[in-house]
Amino acid sequence: MAPRRPDKITITDVARHAGVSTATAGRVLGGYGYTSTEVRDRVRASAEAMGYRPNLLARSLITGRTKTIGVVAGDIQSPFYASMLRGISDVARTEGFGVIVTNTDERSDREIEAVQLLLEKQVDGLIVAPSDLLNSPHLHAAIEGGCPVVQVDRIVAGLPADSVTVDNRGAARDAVAHLIAAGHRRIGIVAELERSAYGSVAAFVRAVEDDRVEATALFPSWQRLYGYLDAHRSAGLTIEPAFIARVGEYSVAAGKAETLKLLDRQQRVSALFTADGLMSAAAMDAITTLEMAIPTDVSLVCFDDLDWMRFAKPGISAVVQPLLELGETAASTVLSRIQGDTSASRHVTLLPQLALRGSVQGLPGSLASARDDGPSPPTRP
């Protein structure tokens, strides 16, 4: 006869092996109630020897918890989510929680399906990168049903939930201000800018000029465009609409096409600011296609620090997001809620760093030196 599978070993089997009652074995393996140290050690040794695996479903019926966190990510292939997920997993594991990860491809319909699936799996809490910042009834319903929700990277308007984000606007402002300080006045921005309540870029720029924009209600790429506009306004520079490349989708091919337009103009830009890692890859593809040199032909600062930016010659200056900390903070927050924290919603904003390498050349008469090699200061004091 084949040996009994470990997942079929029951508490009764462990109790018999350890010479204790089933109730005593249940208390030891369930982590509740009192037992002596000698009995506790004997039961645990028996469980290990027999390869006992707890029935989490049965335990959840007793405790009301499955010891799992559900994560709804926009694109698990992206380095952004990979690093954030590592932070979530590290914190969850130390608290004895597992993580179930789902992917939405930034589509609202898939997000709704993912949230429903995770709720059916009885996860104890959700960490969500929302794809709709205006209408997310499924997240409201999850919260009303008693499931803690923590938002990451974006914030849904009016959602009574914690959030962990980064200062996209401030970091972008500092990155573009660095280019301005180096003497650049024709600075292009390449950004996805897919969805917005303002419709067009021109309408958004007018709203910013009239101080009618609430930055926290924007998707990250629009927040970074806001920072680009801030830097120009602070320097007293006129905004040139033709220098704002709205790609409209998460696509390297589309980003490359828009970058080529900026670089192929008769009066082309002297510097580029890319709003995320995908747009940075697109810009590099365009620059290579045109056989241009960085920084002598065009200077470049990217939002998101990818591995190749450190290995390239010259190195690429980039805004470094604290992605591991983003995931760790989100996980700690949702675990706090699972454990009974009922305080008011918390909104944590983390500060990125601007890593200066060799991709910005100072123009004659600029405040910067010829190259921006040097230490990597924070974006703000």
Do 6-54 and 66-166+324-350 come out as alike in CATH topology?
A: no
pLDDT band at residue 5 using 50, 70 and 90 as cut-offs: very low
Per-residue tokens: 303: 């939002």
Alpha carbon distance 217, 197 (integer Å) = 10
5-19, 120-134, 199-213, 221-235, range with the lowest pLDDT: 5-19
pLDDT digits (tens, 9 = 90+) for 268-278: 899 999 999 99
Share of the chain above pLDDT 70, in %: 91
Torsion (CA) 324, 330, 332, 337 in degrees, nearest 10: -170
Q: Is 365's pLDDT higher than 80?
A: no
What value does the mean pLDDT take over residues 205-217?
93
129-138, 141-150, 193-202, range with the lowest pLDDT: 193-202
Alpha carbon distance 226, 241 (integer Å) = 13
pTM score over 0.85: no
CATH class of 6-54: mainly alpha
The CATH code of the domain at 168-321 is 3.40.50.2300
Res 250: pLDDT: 87
Residues 212, 295 contacting (CB under 8 angstroms): no
The CATH code of the domain at 66-166+324-350 is 3.40.50.2300
Look over the chain and give the mean of its residue pLDDT values, rounded to a whole number: 90
pLDDT digits (tens, 9 = 90+) for 277-314: 999 999 999 999 999 999 999 999 999 999 999 999 99
Res 367: pLDDT: 57
Share of the chain above pLDDT 90, in %: 73
63-67, 101-105, 198-202, range with the lowest pLDDT: 63-67
Alpha carbon distance 140, 217 (integer Å) = 17
Domain boundaries, the chain: 6-54, 66-166+324-350, 168-321
Res 261: pLDDT: 94
Per the model's pLDDT, the better-predicted residue between 69 and 371 turns out to be 69
pLDDT band at residue 373 using 50, 70 and 90 as cut-offs: low
- What are the φ/ψ torsions at residue 29 (nearest 5 degrees)? -75, -20
Q: Is 370's pLDDT higher than 60?
A: no
pLDDT band at residue 162 using 50, 70 and 90 as cut-offs: very high
Determine which helix (DSSP H) or strand (DSSP E) holds 231, and give its type and residue range. helix 220-234
